């Protein structure tokens, strides 16, 4: 059967090939100068850097890296915070024709050793001595590393193996400045030598199984994705007045590609972190940010919790406004009497929601996991566009995303300009175009498994295309499991239903080789505390009222599911899944195999009737 191939809607983004990433910064400095392009938190506030100063710093550091002995194509590993130390170091390497290899700060030592060894990185950039301290043992075994450069502070000789030279960003810049004095055209010549097909970065995917794989992305992979994505985003403005809050890890391709776009458009970006998002939203009043769904879900849960705390007329008013927002139709905005009601709700209720998000927020781009349609409708009712997209590290990353003019909750939108999308006979999502990686580093065997002879990248995700070419992600091939009855179960739809409740932090539907489906429900402690009127402890999970709420929740989520896909028993678990425990990846994807291994005793209790561990309660639906 021939594939049905869909492309971007007409006039929805530009297709531009042949650009390097330094060229995007050059263009921004020339046509969209910004005195506050990069903003770094310091003790007494924020330190701003213009995009012209950013460019000059990166050029000097690039020359300094080359003067230190690095050659075109050499790999440079990054163990840095997601702030100016990343952005300046990254652009310096790109200008110098070097290949950046970012490493998650949360990676296990085994993964760091693997990345440094396989990539053969000759240099390592580190934000501060405290981070370097954690790499001391690793560096002794990373034989290719010859140079370590710190953004802040200096590395004592005792911190480094004898073969490794210690330096700083500042010292590299000073060396670059001397090179420019000797040859004023040195930086320009270096940039002209960089080609669009040159490798820009190796990104080692954190993965949910095994050691990470190095995804090879070129300048054109990334620049074409940036240009197509940003030129299709009608609500995003050029110049300094677009205030961007950046809190996702720049080691991940989602945040990094967006940073290149923000840079190209001449925006003002403030580097925050997930622990300070609420505070910075209120202080900085951003107009744009990118997020994973969980950050928005927590904000929505706080809005709901605030509503539950109200009484009397205020409680009824909140419930009425929330009901209007949940029913908001993005394709058919309210008119007539409905529009009047919406304006009243906006003045009395929605305006406060906007204030909680800074007051000026127009657009939020969401990726990384499924997003509840209810949240999209509620925030749109309050005047904020929440646009879900879809992509992978291997696709630079954007494959598709919803546009402000036609935003359809429950989908990840139409294809990006220049990108082709198809769904194979078995339901797997395929994509082809300039965004697809050149392959996995030194793993031709793995590359051949995912890129076929016709250039289609096989994503491993299951999906559907509607009549208008909007893509809906329905699951992950590897997550499909088979019951002992022979029936196949796709767990994601039910998990998403369960996680839509503020009472559930994470849901895992299980049943491989068993007669029926069960679920692990990791309870959301704040919502459970609200229900109990006190901080939850293990005893709370045994209370009939608590179990009854969760039983009703599971029964509602079972809904129209076929009988074999419905949850028959579930376990309430008081634990929280964290990156530190290895249960979730840095982009907050759950490592199912890790969790199932760690909670084998709970699964035994669900299916064999054994005594559940402490902090766990098993409940019949």
Q: Decide whether 21-194 matches 290-359+362-477 in CATH topology.
A: yes
Cα gap 391→179, rounded to integer Å: 41
* 341 vs 106, residue with greater confidence: 341
Average pLDDT over residues 208-221: 86
Encode pLDDT of 557-576 as tens digits: 998 788 888 999 999 999 98
Domain ranges of the chain: 21-194, 290-359+362-477, 480-620
For helices 312-326 and 336-345, angle between their N-to-C axes, nearest 10 degrees: 130
Q: State mean pLDDT over 302-324.
A: 92
Residue 602's region, left for phi above 0, alpha for psi from -120 to 50, else beta, is alpha
Q: Report the range of poorest mean pLDDT among 63-72, 525-534, 551-560.
A: 525-534
Task: Provide the pLDDT for residue 153.
Answer: 87
Lookup: tokens for 111? 């993964």
Are the beta carbons of 16 and 435 closer than 8 angstroms? no
In this prediction, residue 196 carries a pLDDT of 98
Phi/psi at 430 (5° precision): -120, 150
User: Each residue of 469-491: pLDDT tens digit?
Assistant: 999 998 888 888 888 887 878 89
The predicted pLDDT at position 206 comes to 65
Mean pLDDT of the chain: 93
Architecture of domain 480-620: 2-Layer Sandwich (3.30)
pLDDT of 1 higher than 80: no
Residue 157 clears pLDDT 60, i.e. is over it: no
Mean pLDDT of 228-255: 97
pLDDT value of residue 535:
86
pLDDT at 294 over 90: no
Q: What is the mean pLDDT of residues 165-186?
A: 97
- Over the stretch 113-126, which tens digit does the pLDDT of each residue have? 999 999 999 999 99
Q: HEC profile for 356-405?
A: HCCCCCCEEEECCCCCCHHHHHHHHHCCCEEEEEEECHHHCCEEEECECC
User: Could you report the per-residue pLDDT of 360-414, keeping only the tens digit for each?
Assistant: 999 999 998 788 899 999 999 999 999 999 999 999 999 999 999 999 999 999 9
Contact 31, 231 (CB under 8 A): no
Mean pLDDT, rounded, for 205-220: 82
CATH class of this structure's domain 21-194: alpha beta
Tokens matching residue 23: 């060229």
pLDDT in tens, 5-47: 999 999 899 999 999 999 999 999 999 999 999 999 999 999 9
CA nearest neighbour of 569 among 514, 531, 501: 514
Q: Tell which CATH architecture fits domain 290-359+362-477.
A: 3-Layer(aba) Sandwich (3.40)
pLDDT for 489-531, tens place per residue? 889 889 988 998 889 999 999 998 899 999 999 999 888 888 8
Question: What DSSP assignment string belongs to 469-505?
Answer: --EEEEEEGGG-EE-TTS-EE--HHHHHHHHTSTTEE
Q: Across-strand partners of 401?
A: 389
Is a pLDDT exceeding 80 seen at residue 210? no
Q: How many helices (H) and strands (E) does the chain have?
A: 22, 26
Quick one: pLDDT band at residue 108, thresholds 50, 70, 90?
confident
Residue 228 · residue 356 · CB < 8 Å: no
Percentage of the chain exceeding pLDDT 70: 98
Which stretches of 108-214 are DSSP H helices? Answer: 109-119, 129-133, 136-141, 169-182, 186-192
Q: Which pair of structure tokens corresponds to residue 425?
A: 């006979």
């Amino acid at each position: 059967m021939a594939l049905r191939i869909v492309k971007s809607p007409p006039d929805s983004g530009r297709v531009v090939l042949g650009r390097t990433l330094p060229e995007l910064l050059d263009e921004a400095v020339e046509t969209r100068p910004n005195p506050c392009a990069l903003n770094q938190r310091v003790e007494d506030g924020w330190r701003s850097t213009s995009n012209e100063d950013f460019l000059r710093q990166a050029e000097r550091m690039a020359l300094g890296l080359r003067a230190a002995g690095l050659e075109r194509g050499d790999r440079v590993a990054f163990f840095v915070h997601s702030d100016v130390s990343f952005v300046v170091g990254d652009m310096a390497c790109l200008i110098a024709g070097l290949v950046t290899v970012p490493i998650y700060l949360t990676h296990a030592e085994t993964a760091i050793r693997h990345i440094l060894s396989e990539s053969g990185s000759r240099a390592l950039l580190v934000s501060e001595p405290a981070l370097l301290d954690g790499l001391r043992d690793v560096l002794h075994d990373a034989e290719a590393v010859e140079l370590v450069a710190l953004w802040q502070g200096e590395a004592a000789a005792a911190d480094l193996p004898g073969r490794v030279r210690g330096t700083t960003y500042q010292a590299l810049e000073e060396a670059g400045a001397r090179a420019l004095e000797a040859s004023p055209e040195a930086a320009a010549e270096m940039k002209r030598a960089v080609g669009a097909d040159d490798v820009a970065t190796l990104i080692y995917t954190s993965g949910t199984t095994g050691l990470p794989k190095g995804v090879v992305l070129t300048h054109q992979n990334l620049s074409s994705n940036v240009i197509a994505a940003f030129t299709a985003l009608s609500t995003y403005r050029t110049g300094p007045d677009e205030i961007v809050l950046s809190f996702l890890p720049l080691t991940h391709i989602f945040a990094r590609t967006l940073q290149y776009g923000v840079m190209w458009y001449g925006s003002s970006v403030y580097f925050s972190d997930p622990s300070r998002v609420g505070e910075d939203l209120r202080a900085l009043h951003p107009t744009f940010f990118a997020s994973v769904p969980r950050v928005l879900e927590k904000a929505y849960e706080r809005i709901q919790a605030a509503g539950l705390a109200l009484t009397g007329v205020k409680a009824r008013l909140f419930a009425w406004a929330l009901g209007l927002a949940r029913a908001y139709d993005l394709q058919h905005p309210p008119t007539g009497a409905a529009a009047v009601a919406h304006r009243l709700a906006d003045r009395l209720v929605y305006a406060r929601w906007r204030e909680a998000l800074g007051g000026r927020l127009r657009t939020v781009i969401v990726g990384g996991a499924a997003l509840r349609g209810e949240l999209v409708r509620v925030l749109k009712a309050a005047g904020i566009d929440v646009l879900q997209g879809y992509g992978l590290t291997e696709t630079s990353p954007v494959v598709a995303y919803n546009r402000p003019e036609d935003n359809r909750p429950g989908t990840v939108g139409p294809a990006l300009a220049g990108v082709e999308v198809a769904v194979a006979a078995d339901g797997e999502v395929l994509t082809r175009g300039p965004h697809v990686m050149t392959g996995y580093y030194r793993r031709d065997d793995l590359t051949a498994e995912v890129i076929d002879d016709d250039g289609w990248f096989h994503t491993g995700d299951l999906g559907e295309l509607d009549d208008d070419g909007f893509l809906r992600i329905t699951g992950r091939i590897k997550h499909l499991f088979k019951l002992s009855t022979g029936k196949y179960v796709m767990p994601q739809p039910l998990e998403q239903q369960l996680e839509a409740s503020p009472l559930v932090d994470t849901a895992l539907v299980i049943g491989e080789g068993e007669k029926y489906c069960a679920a692990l429900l990791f309870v959301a402690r704040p919502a459970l505390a609200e229900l109990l009127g006190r901080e939850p402890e293990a005893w709370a999970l045994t209370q009939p009222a608590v179990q009854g709420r969760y039983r009703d929740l599971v029964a509602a989520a079972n809904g129209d599911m076929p009988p074999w896909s419905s949850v028959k028993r579930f376990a309430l678990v008081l634990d929280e899944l964290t990156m530190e425990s290895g249960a979730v990846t840095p982009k907050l994807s759950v490592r199912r195999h890790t969790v199932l291994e760690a909670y084998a005793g709970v699964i035994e209790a669900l299916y064999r009737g054994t005594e559940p561990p402490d902090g766990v309660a098993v409940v019949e639906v």
